[in-house]
Chain A
Amino acid sequence: MFGRGEAERLRRSLESERERREAADEEVVRLRAVFTASPVGMVLTDRQGKPMLRNPAATIAGHTRILVDEALEPLLDAATAGRSAERRLELVGPPPRVLVLRAIPLIGGGALAVIDDLSDRARLDAVRTDFVANISHELKTPVGALALLAETVAEHDDPEVMRRLAAKMVEEAHRAAGTIDDLLELSRIELGGDAVSEPVDTAMVVKDAVERATLAAERRHITVVVDAAEAPVVIGDHLQLVSALVNLIDNAVKYSGEGLTVTVSARRAGRWVELAVSDHGVGIAAKDLDRIFERFYRVDRARSRETGGTGLGLAIVRHVANNHGGEVSVQSREGEGSVFTLRIPADESAKSIAEEGND
């Protein structure tokens, strides 16, 4: 039998053990919560290197998961043997992914694999790199052409040749001026400083936009069909909306074959008002669809001089959509045509957004 003092010591020891165990359990719960909440994908292995725990960020859907797990295997083997290992994995998907997989040995055995999803960063890098290349192309091409034409003019006395070259120079100067005008407009819309917020009749937006695009359409014998019988009212800036719609109609006309039809429609869809421009033109390849709203992005740079434009039109449309609390989307198939939809909150929603903004 225990003495009284001994029993007390035992009780205290048990109590302290219980507290230690509770603290350890609490720590496990908290560590597990951190593991689960981590935005970085993590896979934890047992001491033999067999995956035993995977957090939600490492849970990838579809066949991609199989390929990622396969790529992780040799890295985890190396880490279980005490060596860190790393590999970059680029997958087409869809969705396309750029992943960096790292496996590190853990003290006490086993390994931790970290899956870093660089897809967004890789896309932003591509946007930045292409932007610099594209802006140089758009601005340098007409300036270079002007310099060359001017040099040629200086070397010729024949009035006929000089007249022809001068006409070319005017064309190139207009092209450079067009790019600068669009850049200024884009900058103005981006800043949104002088944006007006008033009730706008979308039927009038469609009418004004179609009028501005009529000449270009007639030149290519393209019929512009308007379907705006139930065009609702939105809160916004009439001029910006017309500018956005003109850009969409211009593109539809440019990339449609002669004699085809372009349809411009305005309708209410739930809490949105949709202004849509559809064509039966060349369409856009799936790989370009995510990037066409970037400034100066060209689907086919080789054809950009042939089709004209500055490469800023769709960037302007996207900013107009953003300024109105809306969005622009595109559905397209190569060879079948495209549908661009500018979605703006309908009157009531726009009011509530404006009120939220004032708060």
Chain B
Amino acid sequence: MEELRKLFHQDLAVARDQLVRLAAWVTELIPRVTEVLLEGDLEGAELIIAADAELDRRAVEAEEHCIQILALQTPVAGELRQVVALLKMIAEVERSGDLACSICKATRRMNGHPMDPKLKGLITRMSEQAQALYRAAIEAFVDNDPVKAAELDDMDAILDALQKQLLQAVAESHKAGLTDLAVAMQMAVVARFYERIGDHAVNIAERVRFIVTGWLPDHQKSARSVVDPDSVGWAT
């Protein structure tokens, strides 16, 4: 039994390490894709898009490792929470990598169009904030720190506010004739990509809180959304 537990903890350490590496990759990717976007670096965009296959492969490998732990070690209670949370977190990181690729694809679509410096400045700020969220999420996970994880909500609010500022600036820039309609649309989409990357970091942090405390904000949200079927006419 003791031997089995030892094996479980070794396997769990490997799974945690796989997630940390994937998340570090995405953390490094965020400023890299921003540079590609702001410089209109098509070659860099292609390299990043091509490298996404490796990120996906490693995410699948990490998922399979978690499933193997579930199948062979049948963890329970807190240990089960860890493995299930890891499975969810791997998907969040993998999706963030996809969003980074989407920013590279937007770079392709904006090729040859000049970008208003004001929009560049706001994109840089969104990128910095999204990276700060990811870095904080990794730290919270590595340290098993639910307090640090809870801080990500406030950090995300800043990213959301920046997204609104960017959308406003895109509209103004287009109105002033500084940004083409096609570029304006791409910029609006790019703003959404950064905002979603931030959301994935928040989801990772929520799973850290789940691992440590068993609490998930989804439980609260579901409780809030329970409505009386009669009041909406759903009762049969």
Which residues of A are interface residues toward B (Cβ below 8 A)?
Answer: 62-64, 66-67, 70, 91-94, 282-283, 285-287, 333-336
Q: Is the CB of A333 within 8 A of B31?
A: no
Do A63 and B24 contact each other (CB < 8 Å), given the known contacts A92-B35, A285-B38, A335-B116? yes
With an 8 A cutoff between CB atoms, is B175 at the interface? no
Distance A335 CA – B38 CA, assembled complex (angstroms): 13
Q: Is the CB of B21 within 8 A of A334?
A: no
| CB neighbours of A283 from chain B (8 A) | 117, 121
Distance A194 CA – B39 CA, assembled complex (angstroms): 43
| CB neighbours of B122 from chain A (8 A) | 335
Q: Is the CB of A333 within 8 A of B124?
A: yes
Distance in Å from the Cβ of B95 to the closest Cβ of chain A? 18
| CB neighbours of B35 from chain A (8 A) | 92, 287
Distance in Å from the Cβ of A287 to the closest Cβ of chain B? 7
| CB neighbours of B20 from chain A (8 A) | 66
Distance in Å from the Cβ of B108 to the closest Cβ of chain A? 20
Distance A63 CA – B120 CA, assembled complex (angstroms): 25
Which residues of B are interface residues toward A (Cβ below 8 A)?
Answer: 20-21, 23-25, 27-28, 31-32, 35, 38, 116-122, 124-125, 134-135, 138, 169
Distance A71 CA – B125 CA, assembled complex (angstroms): 29
Distance A171 CA – B108 CA, assembled complex (angstroms): 40
Q: Which of A63, A91, A336 contacts B121 (CB 8 A)?
A: A336
| CB neighbours of A92 from chain B (8 A) | 28, 31-32, 35
A-B contact pairs, 22 of them (CB 8 A): A63-B134, A64-B24, A66-B20, A67-B21, A67-B24, A67-B25, A70-B21, A91-B28, A92-B35, A94-B31, A283-B117, A283-B121, A285-B38, A285-B120, A285-B124, A286-B124, A334-B118, A334-B120, A334-B124, A335-B118, A335-B121, A335-B169
Distance in Å from the Cβ of A92 to the closest Cβ of chain B? 5
Distance A94 CA – B124 CA, assembled complex (angstroms): 13
